[in-house]
Amino acid sequence: MNRFLASSLILLIGPAIMSSCGKEEVQAAKAELREGWDELKEFTVDRREVVQVRLEEAMDDLGRQVDQIDDRLEEGGEAAKEQYEDLVADLRQQRAALGGRIEELREAGEDVWVRTRVEVVDAVKAFERSVEDAWTRLRS
């Protein structure tokens, strides 16, 4: 399986299986995902649709995770909601801003796309880290 497909698979099913994996397996999966992001940044305009689909799939998955975090806080009661209210609001704001940037990237001409794809991929990676950090805070 090529690294791009493997990375996509890890992103889509990773959160569901990582809770049952050992720490080393989780770290290996995260390393594979990071390599996939770096590979995406190297894609040229002829692979534009692949980059776009990958970014949209990542955002869909990360959006579901934000919703799951919010659901978990709802289950935790009013104190949990108040404690993490800013965290969830920040995640939703990041998701909305990135959604707009990904849409702009889809509609961009070739020259703009080439210049901005790395920035957008890096922004999605940063959002992914924010979501991971939120899960870590909730589990502690």
Task: Supply the pLDDT for residue 64.
Answer: 95
Domains of the chain, residue spans:
3-139
C-alpha distances in Å from residue 29, one per residue of 5, 32, 64, 137: 13, 5, 19, 20
- Average pLDDT per 10 consecutive residues for the chain, totaling 140 residues: 44 43 52 58 69 88 93 86 89 94 90 86 93 89
Cα–Cα distance measured from residue 6 to residue 37, given in angstroms and rounded to the nearest whole number? 11
Which of helix, strand or coil describes residue 43? coil
Please choose, from the candidates 73, 72, 93, the residue with its C-alpha nearest in 3D space to the C-alpha of residue 84.
Answer: 73
Task: Supply the pLDDT for residue 65.
Answer: 94
Task: Supply the pLDDT for residue 16.
Answer: 44
Residue 53: other Cβ atoms inside 10 A:
11
Task: Supply the pLDDT for residue 91.
Answer: 95
Task: Supply the pLDDT for residue 19.
Answer: 44
